[in-house]
Structure 1
Amino acid sequence: MKTAIIGSANFRDWDAFKNSLIGLNISQIIINGDRGAARFAKRYAKINRLPLMHITHHKNLGQLEKSQNHLEIIDACECIVVFCNGSSSELSPIIQLARQMGKKISLVIV
């Protein structure tokens, strides 16, 4: 299953990360960052020899560009795993969009 992995850039618990993916039949990992959950996703893909799609996320995007970036991520996946620490305001619109598009969502509180 093509799986998007998004979440807190401050997430630093490798064991919690990999344990959250147990039981998912991941065929490809989709990310849009380089820190936190995205960094672990790269590591997980390399260890498990999974293809990695990196959708570029630029830091100074306007609201329209952010929405387009979120749409591109959700459109590319079948399932999304969200690592949430409760402080990121960008995760809520992504989760809502994934729900609207009928994607499977796994929310992991970190």
Structure 2
Amino acid sequence: MTYSGFDKKTGMAISDDAHITQSMYDILHTPIGSRVMRREYGSLLSELIDEPDNKATRLKVMSACYMALMRWEPRISLQRIEVKPDENNVPTLYFQGTKTDNQPFTAEIPRG
């Protein structure tokens, strides 16, 4: 199954994977309670911003991502989430899973 959508910055058409990744970014970077007409939308990531960079915090981040994406992004099923710095030392979320059509899916989303 393919999804059509538009890039929120350029207005140009984007592929399914890019549209799913854009949706994931929006879900994860929206604090729960911040949307007026949909208070429950978003994730708990914003509550973890000043937490120390350790295994417990990484587990909390992965859990917050999984809970939010399983609720708000029905087009994917996640098998793996990793939190690690990218080549510029920016904390980045790495996702692996499958789309609803059983095609593999990967995404990288900066945490900040």
Q: TM-score, normalised by structure 1?
A: 0.37
More strand by share: 2
Q: Which has the higher helix share?
A: 1
Which entry has the higher C-alpha Rg, 1 or 2?
Answer: 2
Q: Which has the higher contact order (CA 8 A, sep 6+)?
A: 1
